[in-house]
Chain A
Amino acid sequence: MAFDYEKYLRPGKLPHIWCPGCGHGIVMKGLIRAMDTLKLDMKNTAIVSGIGCASRLPGYIDCCTLHTAHGRAAAFATGVKMAKPEMNVILCGGDGDGTAIGGNHFIHACRRNIDMTYIIMNNYIYGMTGGQFSPCTPTGHKASTTPYGNPDPGFDIAKLAIGAGATFVARGTAFHANQIDKLIVEAIQHKGFSVVEILDDCPTTYGRRNKYKSVIEMMNRLKEVAVPVKAAEKMTAEQLKGKVLTGVLYKEEKPEYTEEFAKVIERAKASK
C-alpha cells in the first residue's frame, strides 16, 4: 500500500510553498517516514526551526512545532528540551540558518551533547531571502551577492559538528531518498546531539546562477558526488577528490546534558 503521509500532515496545507524540484519536500517525506517507523507520539514530539525555506517544514507536520527567530532554532530547542526532557526534540533548518546566523547556537548545542536531532538541509545558498551566498556555497560559485564568484572556502558541516562535540553525525542527499529516513531514525534513537546533513538542491536561486540547466541535472550531480562511507574505504585519495561521503560518519557515547543537569539539581538540593 502507498504510504499515508497525510496522517502526519496538517489538513489543507498542501501544496507546500517550496519551488518545483526543491528537495526539501523529499526530506520532509523522509522525516515523516522516520517518525512513522519509530511510532513517535505526536503530542510528545517537537519540531523546532528558524527562518528560511527549510525552516518552513514544521508548519506542515501535525505535531508540536515551534517556528523561531533566524538561526535560533538550537537555542529555543534547548529550552524545550530542558523544560521537558522526556520530549523528542527535532530541529530543522537550512545551511545559512544553521551555520552562519545560528552558527554559534549550533556549535554550543553540539558541545553540550543535549539529546536532540538537527536536520540541516544544505542547499548551498540562502534561498528564501534572495539567493545570497551562505558559508556552504562552494568557492567560485555564484550567488546574488557574489555575481563574480564566491571567494570564500565553504564549511564542511559534518566536520564542524564532529569538531564541536556532536556525538552522532550523518550525511545523506535528497537524491538518495531511501537513505534519508534510515539516517533520521538512527539519529533520533541516538542519545545525545545528533546532526543529519542532507545535501539538497535549490534550482531557483542556486542552480539558475550556476549553469544547472534543470532540476534533473542538480539531482544527477548529487548522485555523482555521493560516496557511501564503506565504499570510500576502498577508494584512493585521488578517486575521492570532489566526492562527498554519505552515511553515518561519526558515532560515540558521551554523557547527555539533561541527565547531567538533573544530577546538578540533585547535588544542589542535597547541599542545603
Chain B
Amino acid sequence: MEKTLPKIEIIEKYCKGCHICVEFCPTKVLEMKGFVVAVKNLEACIKCMQCELRCPDFAIKVSAE
C-alpha cells in the first residue's frame, strides 16, 4: 500500500519559535529556520499530531487523511 503523506501547514506569523514542536516530534520532522519552524523531512511523519497538540501558538496544522 502506498503511504499517503500528511499535510503540515505552518502559520509563520503565529509561530514564536519556542522549539516545543521540534523537540517533541518523535521522528524529527521539523526544524528551526531562523526564528520560525519549518518542515525538514515530511517523509518521516507518522501523523501522531503531537506537534499540533503541543503548539501553544496555534501555528501548526496537520491534516492526515
Contacts and interface: CB of A to CB of B under 8 A. Distances in A.
Nearest to B11: A14
Interface string B46-65: 00001011111110011110
Contacts, number: 62
A219 B18 CA distance: 11
B49 to A, nearest CB: 8
A177 interface: yes
A219 B58 contact: no
Interface string B24-62: 100000000000000000000000001011111110011
How extensive is the interface on chain B, given as a class? 20 to 34
A29 B58 CA distance: 8
A100 B7 CA distance: 45
A3 interface: yes
Interface stretch (A18-26, A188-196, A232-240): A18-26
Contacts of A219: 20, 23-24
B58 A5 contact: yes
Contact of A16 (B50, B57, B63): B57
Chain A CB count within 10 A is highest, among B52, B55, B56, B57, for B56
A37 interface: no
B18 A21 contact: yes
A14 B55 CA distance: 13
A178 B48 CA distance: 11
B53 A177 contact: yes
B19 A214 contact: yes
